[in-house]
Amino acid sequence: MRTIKVFDTTLRDGEQMPGVSLPVNYKIQIAKQLDKLGVDVIEAGFPSASKGEFEAVKEIANLGLNAKICGLARVVKKDIDQAIKADVDIVHVFIPTSKIQVEHTIKKTPDEIVQLSVDAVEYVKSHGVECMFSAMDATRTEMDFLKRIYKAVEEAGVDIINVPDTVGIATPFRFYDMIKKLKEHLNVPIDVHCHNDFGLATANTYAAVLAGADEVQVTVNGLGERAGNAPLEEVVALLYAEGFKTNIRMEYLVETSRLVERLTGVKMPPNKPIVGENAFSHESGIHAHGVLKDARTFEPGIITPEMVGHKRRIVVGKHAGRHQIKKILEDAGYVVDDEKLSIIVQKVKELGDKGKKVTDLDLFAIAESVLGEVSEKDRIINVDEVTVLTGNKITPTAVINAEVEGERKVTSAIGVGPVDATFKAVTELLGRKIKITEFRLDAITGGSDALANVYVTVEDEDGETFTARSAGADIVMASFDAVIKAVNYLMLKKKRKK
Calculate mean pLDDT across residues 191-218: 98
Indicate if 376-497 has the same CATH topology as 5-264. Answer: no
- Which of 26-30, 431-435, 465-469, 475-479 has the highest mean predicted lDDT (pLDDT)? 26-30
C-beta of residue 68 within 8 angstroms of C-beta of residue 41: yes
Residues 147-172 have a mean pLDDT of 98
Look over the chain and give the mean of its residue pLDDT values, rounded to a whole number. 87
SS3 for the chain is CCECEEEECCCCCHHHCCCCCCCHHHHHHHHHHHHHHCCCEEEEECCCCCHHHHHHHHHHHCCCCCCEEEEEEECCHHHHHHHHHCCCCEEEEEEECCHHHHHHHHCCCHHHHHHHHHHHHHHHHHCCCEEEEEEECHHHCCHHHHHHHHHHHHHCCCCEEEEEECCCCCCHHHHHHHHHHHHHHCCCCEEEEEECCCCCHHHHHHHHHHCCCCEEEEEHHHCCCCCCECEHHHHHHHHHHCCCECCCCHHHHHHHHHHHHHHHCCCCCCCCCCCCCCCCEECCHHHHHHHHHCHHHCCCCCCCHHHHCCCCEECCCCCCCHHHHHHHHHHCCCCCCHHHHHHHHHHHHHHHHCCCCCCHHHHHHHHHHHHCCCCHHHCCEEEEEEEEEEECCEEEEEEEEEEECCEEEEEEEECCCHHHHHHHHHHHHHCCCEEEEEEEEEECCCCCCCCEEEEEEEEECCCCEEEEEEEECCHHHHHHHHHHHHHHHHHHHHHHHC
The pTM score is 0.71
Which tens digit of pLDDT belongs to each residue from 73-119? 999 999 999 999 999 999 999 999 999 999 999 889 999 999 999 99
What integer pLDDT is reported at residue 448 of this predicted model? Answer: 61
* CATH of range 376-497; options 3.30.420.40, 3.30.160.270, 3.30.2130.10, 3.40.309.10: 3.30.160.270
Q: Which pLDDT belongs to residue 78?
A: 96
Of 205, 245, 242, 244, nearest to 222 by C-alpha is 205
The more confident residue out of 349 and 365 is 349
For the ranges 35-44, 177-186, 261-270, 440-449, the lowest mean pLDDT is seen at: 440-449
Q: Is the pLDDT of residue 291 over 60?
A: no
Q: Please, are residues 458 and 466 in contact by the beta-carbon 8 Å criterion?
A: yes
For residues 26 and 52, the answer to whether their CB atoms sit within 8 Å is no
Pick from 110, 83, 78, 85: nearest CA to 95: 110
Dump pLDDT digits (tens) for 309-361: 987 766 666 667 677 788 778 876 777 888 888 888 888 877 777 666 666 65
CATH class of segment(s) 5-264: alpha beta
pLDDT at position 486 is: 80
436-456 pLDDT, tens per residue? Answer: 877 888 766 566 666 677 878
pLDDT, residue 173, reads 98
User: What percentage of the chain reaches a pLDDT higher than 90?
Assistant: 56
Choice between 230 and 305, residue whose per-residue pLDDT is larger:
230
For residues 243-247, give the mean pLDDT.
Answer: 97
- pLDDT tier at 285 (50, 70, 90 boundaries)? very low
Per domain, the residue ranges of the chain are: 5-264, 281-371, 376-497
At 289 the pLDDT is: 45
Q: Average pLDDT of 460-476?
A: 76
Residue 219 scores a pLDDT above 70: yes
Given a cut of 70, whether residue 459 has pLDDT beyond it is yes
Residues 14-29: tens digit of each pLDDT: 999 999 999 999 999 9
Pick the range with the lowest mean pLDDT from 1-10, 70-79, 281-290. Answer: 281-290
Give the pLDDT confidence score for residue 288 in this predicted structure.
45
